[in-house]
């Protein structure tokens, strides 16, 4: 058993995106590619000798092989212990939970979140800090800088570690503990929610269906929803994690979670439906024949927080990403608490939570969570809704419509144009930037452009500045059109267009969002020249 120092050369494409480094599996399987990035992490985070790490992933293709490489490199780089989820499995929110509970130096999470898996699918890796949250931009920039100058990496020459049984072994001088990836997280959920009330709801005939999409949350949902809360066997569908997610796209939206949507809009539909994504941090909430937008979900969770046992003391504040609708802002105003608008990316919420400024956070991209961890948490959101439903004893639709009646409805939609040529997507953004002066003050029927800008965020905790976070077209009546390039894809570019219009008139709340936003959609396509510049007549996904 010896430590090898392996000569290598830099790769030019290892800049982390919104949530770590994501590439196609064949890219990661290139000689030295994963090793270079892992060594760049270890060289950048200044971990003390004998520090401990958490390690695991969403079970996608290449997960197990990558874990073995990382374990051997951690041992060669002087780490004292690594806690790895059994079978290499660990959801992203559970990883955050374990990092915080066991006070490790941080953790490495292997996932490409909601992106497809398999031999030709996507893979990803990111470092989470000791607070359980994604590394700050300062750390990710240091990792990228190191990746451009790396010339060698260290790895232990040793056999693989068995991952499928709970055990403790040694790798060189480093302890490897294979632990139950579900138990710590399940205990945390039980401390936050009234499991007795939810159990009574389910025992009373309230039917649920949870689609794990053959992704990481299957074991978590089976343990919590079926074993601990008593939901009937089969309430969790697609509950076995598969390396290729069963050939599906593990993104919990109306397009990709079509099996669940058919059930929830079918005859004899369950009362409540939900889905989560590849690594378990996103969620979709459905009622019987009724879809809850993520923006509305965040606002409704905030408005009902004191009904839930772990949040009876109230909220310190709310944070939402800039493209997320202002529905949560209205709740915050009513509760007389602050609401922060941040760039997209959960790392921006971490400072606010660590400073005690916010309790709840959410993004329109199906992510909601609270300060119990420092990541989005799909199953947490499901349990929050079930707790509220158990207390209020109303349907999902009734709760949402009651919320609209009290606060008004923010009609909201997102158009995703995936896999665009990067030059074409950048061309749209540049065209919009060049149009700012011409657009400001311009009238489009009932809409008057008040402000055009490229969103810039100053962190209220550390003063750091994040520029160019999305183009905003803000209208005098509070309506908004947002254009943003996503940082989570691995192929081409994804251009997202967000549309929002506030409607206080209850008599119009029944309208379909696409109908209500028809004019804004036309304005967005016109001012961006998106169809001409990209050649795309239709978005890939509408949510």
- Cα dihedral 484, 486, 487, 493 sign: negative
On whether the CB atoms of residues 277 and 213 are closer than 8 A, the answer is yes
Inter-residue contact 240 to 218 (CB < 8 Å): yes
Active-site annotation holds for 91:
no
Cβ atoms of 280 and 373 closer than 8 Å: no
Q: What does the block give as tokens for 472?
A: 């905003």
Q: Which residues contact 353 (CB under 8 A, 6 or more apart)?
A: 133, 359, 361, 371, 374
**Helices 378-392 and 183-192, interaxial angle, to 10°?**
30
Closest by CA to 313, choosing from 406, 196, 402, 192, is: 192
- The Cα–Cα gap between 128 and 47 comes to 13
DSSP structure class, residue 238? S
Catalytic residue among 40, 52, 113, 369: 113
The CB-side HSE value for 173 (13 A sphere, CA atoms) comes to: 9
In three-state secondary structure terms, 67 is: helix
The CA-atom distances, in angstroms, between 273 and each of 68, 442, 446, 470, 541 are 37, 43, 38, 32, 20
Q: What is the sign of the dihedral through the CA atoms of 226, 231, 233 and 237?
A: negative
N-terminal to C-terminal alpha carbon distance within the chain = 53
CA gap 63, 87 in Å, rounded: 9
Write phi, then psi, for 291 (nearest 5 degrees): -105, 135
β-pair partners for 210: 236, 274
Sheet of 339-342: strand order equals 339-342, 318-321, 360-363, 367-370
* 487/16 Cα distance (integer angstroms): 9
Strand-pair category, 447-454 with 471-475: antiparallel
Is residue 229 classed as helix, strand or coil in its secondary structure?
coil
Q: What are phi and psi of 158, to 5 degrees?
A: -155, 160
Inter-residue contact 169 to 176 (CB < 8 Å): yes
Structure tokens belonging to residue 114? 């909601």
Q: Determine contact, residues 127/214, Cβ cutoff 8 Å.
A: no
Helix, strand, or coil (residue 239): coil
User: Active-site positions?
Assistant: 113
């Amino acid at each position: 058993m010896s430590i090898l120092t392996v000569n290598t050369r830099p790769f030019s494409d290892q800049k982390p995106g919104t949530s770590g480094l994501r590439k196609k599996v064949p890219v990661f399987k290139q000689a030295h590619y994963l090793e270079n990035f892992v060594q760049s992490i270890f060289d950048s985070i200044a971990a003390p000798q004998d520090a401990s790490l958490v390690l695991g992933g969403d079970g996608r293709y290449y997960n197990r092989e990558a874990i073995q490489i990382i374990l051997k490199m951690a041992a060669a780089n002087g780490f004292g212990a690594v806690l790895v989820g059994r079978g290499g499995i660990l959801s992203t929110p559970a990883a955050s939970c374990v990092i915080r509970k066991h006070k490790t130096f941080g953790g490495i999470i292997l996932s490409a979140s909601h992106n497809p898996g398999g031999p030709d699918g996507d893979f990803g890796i990111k470092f989470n800090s000791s607070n359980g949250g994604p590394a700050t931009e300062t750390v990710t920039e240091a990792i990228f800088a190191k990746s451009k100058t790396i010339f060698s990496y260290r790895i232990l020459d040793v056999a693989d570690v068995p991952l499928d049984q709970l055990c403790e072994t040694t790798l060189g001088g480093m302890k490897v503990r294979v632990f139950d990836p579900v138990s710590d997280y399940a205990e945390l959920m039980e401390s936050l929610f009234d499991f007795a009330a939810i159990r009574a709801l389910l025992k009373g005939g309230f039917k649920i269906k949870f689609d794990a999409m053959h992704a990481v949350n299957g074991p978590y949902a089976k343990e919590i929803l079926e074993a601990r809360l008593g939901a009937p066997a089969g309430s969790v569908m697609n509950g076995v994690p598969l390396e290729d997610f069963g050939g599906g796209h593990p993104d919990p939206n109306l397009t990709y979670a079509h099996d669940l949507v058919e059930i929830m809009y079918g005859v004899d539909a369950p009362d409540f439906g939900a889905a989560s994504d590849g690594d378990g941090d996103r969620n979709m909430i459905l009622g019987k024949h009724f879809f809850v937008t993520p923006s509305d979900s965040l606002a409704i969770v905030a408005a009902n927080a004191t009904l839930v046992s772990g949040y009876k003391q109230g909220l310190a504040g709310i944070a939402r990403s800039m493209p997320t609708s202002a529905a949560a802002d209205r709740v915050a105003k009513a509760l007389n608490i602050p609401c922060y608008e941040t760039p997209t990316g959960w790392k921006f919420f971490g400072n606010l939570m660590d400073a005690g400024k916010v309790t709840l956070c959410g993004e329109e991209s199906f992510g909601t969570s609270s300060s119990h961890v420092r990541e989005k948490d799909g199953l947490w959101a499901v349990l929050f809704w079930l707790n509220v439903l158990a207390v209020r004893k109303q349907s999902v639709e009734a709760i949402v419509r009651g919320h609209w009646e009290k606060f008004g409805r923010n009609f909201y939609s997102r158009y995703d144009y995936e896999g665009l040529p990067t030059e074409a997507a950048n061309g749209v953004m540049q065209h919009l930037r060049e149009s700012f002066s011409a657009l400001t003050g311009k009238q489009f029927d009932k809409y008057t452009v008040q402000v055009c800008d490229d969103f810039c965020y100053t962190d209220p905790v550390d003063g750091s500045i994040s520029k160019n976070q999305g183009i905003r077209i803000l209208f005098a009546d509070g309506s908004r059109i947002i254009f943003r390039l996503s940082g989570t894809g691995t192929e081409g570019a994804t251009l997202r267009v967000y549309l929002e219009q506030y409607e206080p008139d209850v008599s119009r709340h029944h309208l379909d969002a696409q109908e209500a936003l028809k004019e804004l959609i036309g304005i967005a396509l016109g001012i961006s020249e998106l169809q001409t510049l990209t050649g795309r007549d239709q978005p890939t996904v509408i949510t």
